Amino acid sequence: MLNTDRLIVPTLDELNALPEAEVQDLFHRELLRSPHAETMEQWLELGRTILDTEDRPYLACQIGRFIASAEANNAHFDKADLAIRRSEEIASAHNLINLIAECKNTRGIVAGQRGNYAEAVVQFEQGLEVVNDEMAPAVTASLLTNLGLALDHLGQSSRAIEQHLSSIAIRERLGNHRGLASSYFNLGELYARRGDYDVAYEYYLRARDLQEQLDDVNSVARTFSSIAFVLAHTGEAEEALRYQQDAENLAANVPDARLHGVLMMMRGSILKTIGRVKESTEQLHACVAFARENGLQEMEVHTAVNIAKEHSTRGQNDEAVETFEYALGRTKDMGLRWLEAIVSKDLAGMYCQIGSPERAPDLLLQALHIFRANRSFDDYLSTLIDLANVYKTLHATADAFDALAVWAVEFRAESSRQLVDRINDIRRLHRHERTALEAESIAARNQELTVAMERQRELVRRLEEVNAEKDEFMTIAAHDLKNPLGLVKSMLQTMIKHADTLPREDLVDLCTDMYASIERMQSLVHTFLDMSRSADDPSRLRLSDINVGAIILRTASRYVQSAEKKHITLVLPDYAEITAHADPAALEEIIDNLVSNAIKFCDAGDTITLTVQLSDGVVCTHVRDTGPGLSDVDKRKLFTKYGQLSPKPTGGESSSGLGLYLSLRLAERMGGTITCESQPGSGCDFRVCLPEGHHT
């Protein structure tokens, strides 16, 4: 069992016995989320061992990224570079596409921490070439956010906003509220730096709302402080101080020294903005002491540098030099090489400002050495220019020219190095893309073959069903057409045999009977054709918004005379413009079947009533009759193919047994239903329900 005491670092064997996800979470906690100074180096060494062994490539890559981030947080950029490059090599060797993009993301973050935002942009953009929001939406959103931050530092705020908004769109789609809160906060920071305080305020409020939902006290406190900063810049001093106090109250019970330090810095900045300069300086001095007591090395130095710059702005040069020298001494004591270079450059500028340029060259040369070692190209070149200007001030013309010559050589060399690195990166990306595309192509071809085979099997099955149905149709058709054809033949023989003596009235009767028989045969043929079309191609239905009331009246009116002949009362609905989304021909076919069936099975004195109702987005047409009704056995046969019921047509009419079956299929293909309520001796109530039209 793993020892849960966080001050006891586990062995490699103990970690190897744990699932990868658990090991990954441990390293993330110990290196980034809440590190212990006492055990940090041991965890780093343990992580480097895992990174070197490469037994579990995915885990090794993730730990390498954590190591890189932790080293960069401590300004150890050379070690950060080694870790992230090793992670990227492993990800590339094992074709871990998402991790390649995540490594690019981490490389960009590290480049930004060392101040090389141009290189950071390159890394983030290369990461976005590897993945997209379909294959890895979370990684893509993170890359876009970080690209926005880097572009903002380069002064390209419009492009930065575009990246942030793209990231927000992905995170909204994913429902990633934590990521959204971060994106809103970053946009608020961007607009605040631009001086667009009203827009910044809106984004901070969005971030705050999500952070409160997530119960993220740290983030809420940080956002409250940023809102206070915006309010201070818009002249609302009292409200700004209230928000700042709320932030500090929230953080009071949070054991996060870094958060408390940030809030102290923010209070100092807010006090300065509202004109309380003395209190601001006191607050920043207190922040330096707090940071030193709690081991917040970077915060201590950054705050001291801000104090020095404030002294310089107010013309307090001696205090400015003293504070810069203090900050420089602390960077050397703590081994913060990157910050040492930054402070050395600032102090050299201060020496020149107070008329002591002779003290600047050594500081600038030291800064050059550190910037070059950390591959911070832009800072290195700008420092060379500063050195040349100092030499010029000191009338050391030869040294000035030497500095410019070195600048030219280094510019060319560094440009060549960056070009080679980018060419290698592009080659590696192309190689991975080619491998990934080949794999995708093979998978796609396999998928296409599988789909094609399945489609073919389905077609064969449908053809077999259709063929069987057509055979069945032909059998039924031959049977059902035989009787009316025989009747027509018999009547024609009678007419031919007695053509000279047959009275006109009898001739008309015979013609009328033949016409009825031909109509019955035509109806059967249409039924079979409709049945076939319904089975073969449901797409033939043409759905649109139709006036149900008009179709019901038009269809049912054709049966008024048939009902009167059998002394049946047919009650039609009052005209009403009720709209359904359906195929007009299909609905007409359904109503035709239901009304003709009701007339077939009703007897003299019965009533058939049609009504149309709209309720809860559904249009229902009722065809009720007072006929013989249906038994439970008959109701189970309803809507089945060729189902023959116990009640028989009262006027000797024929029945194919297909009308209700076809009607149900048509209704279902229109998104509707047909049901029947009936009891023996109580008639039937057929109900056709269809979706309401889009426009009523």
28-73: pLDDT as tens digits:
888 876 677 677 788 888 888 887 776 788 888 888 888 888 888 7
**How far is the C-alpha of 64 from the C-alpha of 71, rounded, in Å?**
11
670-685: pLDDT as tens digits:
899 999 999 888 899 9
Q: Distance of alpha carbon 220 from its chain centroid, rounded?
A: 25
Q: Distance of alpha carbon 563 from its chain centroid, rounded?
A: 61
Question: According to the model, what pLDDT value does residue 420 have?
Answer: 63
Long-range CB pairs of 524-528 (<8 Å, 24+ gap) are 524/477, 524/480, 524/481, 524/654, 524/656, 525/477, 527/656, 527/658, 527/659, 527/662, 528/473, 528/476, 528/477, 528/658
| Percent of all residues in the chain with a pLDDT value above 90, rounded to a whole number | 29
Q: How far is CA 543 from CA 271, 275, 538, in A?
A: 69, 71, 11
Question: According to the model, what pLDDT value does residue 527 have?
Answer: 56
Q: Which two tokens stand for residue 542?
A: 């043409």
Q: Which two tokens stand for residue 378?
A: 């832009």
HEC assignment per residue over 476-501 = HHHHHHHHHHHHHHHHHHHHHHCCCC
Fill in the amino acid letter for 129: E
- Phi and psi at residue 476, in whole multiples of 5°? -65, -40
Q: Which residue has the tokens 């010029």?
A: 392
Q: Distance of alpha carbon 373 from its chain centroid, rounded?
A: 41
**How far is the C-alpha of 273 from the C-alpha of 394, rounded, in Å?**
38
Q: How far is CA 469 from CA 475, 476, 558, 639, in A?
A: 10, 10, 31, 16
Question: According to the model, what pLDDT value does residue 696 have?
Answer: 44
Q: Which residues contact 592 (CB under 8 A, 6 or more apart)?
A: 555, 558
352-385: pLDDT as tens digits:
999 999 999 899 888 888 877 766 667 777 888 8
Q: Give the three-state DSSP class for 690.
A: strand
* Cβ contact 151:143 at 8 Å: no
440-498: pLDDT as tens digits:
676 677 777 778 788 888 877 877 776 776 666 666 566 556 656 766 777 788 788 88
- Phi and psi at residue 335, in whole multiples of 5°? 70, 25
DSSP class per residue in 432-492: HHHHHHHHHHHHHHHHHHHHHHHHHHHHHHHHHHHHHHHHHHHHHHHHHHHHHHHHHHHHH
Q: Give the three-state DSSP class for 89.
A: helix
Long-range CB pairs of 291-300 (<8 Å, 24+ gap) are 291/261, 292/330, 294/257, 294/260, 294/261, 295/37, 295/257, 296/257, 296/258, 296/261, 297/74, 297/330, 297/334, 297/336, 298/73, 298/75, 298/336, 298/339, 299/258, 299/261, 299/262, 299/265, 300/330
Question: According to the model, what pLDDT value does residue 688 have?
Answer: 95
The mean pLDDT value of the chain amounts to: 82
* Cβ contact 114:409 at 8 Å: no
* Cβ contact 667:619 at 8 Å: no
Q: Which two tokens stand for residue 331?
A: 């960077």
Burial class (CB in 10 A: 0-12, 13-18, 19+), 652: exposed
| pTM (2 d.p.) | 0.53
DSSP class per residue in 186-209: HHHHHHHHHT-HHHHHHHHHHHHH
536 pLDDT tier (thresholds 50, 70, 90): very low
Q: Which residues contact 441 (CB under 8 A, 6 or more apart)?
A: none
Pick the closest to residue 217 from 241, 247, 188 (CA basis). 247
HEC assignment per residue over 125-153 = HHHHHHCCCCCCHHHHHHHHHHHHHHHHH
659 pLDDT tier (thresholds 50, 70, 90): confident
**How far is the C-alpha of 524 from the C-alpha of 530, rounded, in Å?**
10
Burial class (CB in 10 A: 0-12, 13-18, 19+), 321: buried
263-311: pLDDT as tens digits:
999 999 999 999 998 899 899 999 999 988 887 888 888 899 888 988 8
Secondary element (H or E) of residue 675: strand 673-678
Q: Give the three-state DSSP class for 578.
A: coil
Question: According to the model, what pLDDT value does residue 248 have?
Answer: 93
Least confident span in 82-96, 357-371, 404-418 = 404-418
176-223: pLDDT as tens digits:
999 999 999 999 999 998 889 999 999 999 999 999 999 999 999 999
Q: Which two tokens stand for residue 344?
A: 């050395």
Examine the pLDDT at 224 and tell me if it is beyond 70: yes
Sheet with 618-625, side-by-side order of all strands: 569-571, 607-615, 618-625, 684-691, 673-678
Q: Which residue has the tokens 């002064």?
A: 155
Mean pLDDT, to the nearest integer, of 128-144?
89
**How far is the C-alpha of 680 from the C-alpha of 585, rounded, in Å?**
32
* Cβ contact 345:367 at 8 Å: yes
Angle, nearest 10°, between helix axes 504-536 and 659-669?
A: 40
Helices (H), 354-396: 360-373, 377-393
* Cβ contact 183:167 at 8 Å: yes
Pick the closest to residue 261 from 229, 233, 284, 279 (CA basis). 284
**How far is the C-alpha of 307 from the C-alpha of 141, rounded, in Å?**
37
338 pLDDT tier (thresholds 50, 70, 90): confident
Examine the pLDDT at 646 and tell me if it is beyond 80: no
Q: How far is CA 200 from CA 217, 231, 233, 239, 449, in A?
A: 20, 10, 11, 16, 54
**How far is the C-alpha of 365 from the C-alpha of 345, rounded, in Å?**
9
Question: According to the model, what pLDDT value does residue 244 have?
Answer: 93
Question: According to the model, what pLDDT value does residue 494 have?
Answer: 77
Mean pLDDT, to the nearest integer, of 1-16?
68
Q: Which two tokens stand for residue 205?
A: 């409020």
Q: Which two tokens stand for residue 643?
A: 């189902």
* Cβ contact 308:346 at 8 Å: yes
Q: Give the three-state DSSP class for 619.
A: strand
Terminal CA-to-CA distance of the chain, rounded, Å? 70
**How far is the C-alpha of 39 from the C-alpha of 26, rounded, in Å?**
13
* Cβ contact 211:223 at 8 Å: yes
Question: According to the model, what pLDDT value does residue 532 have?
Answer: 57
Question: According to the model, what pLDDT value does residue 181 have?
Answer: 93
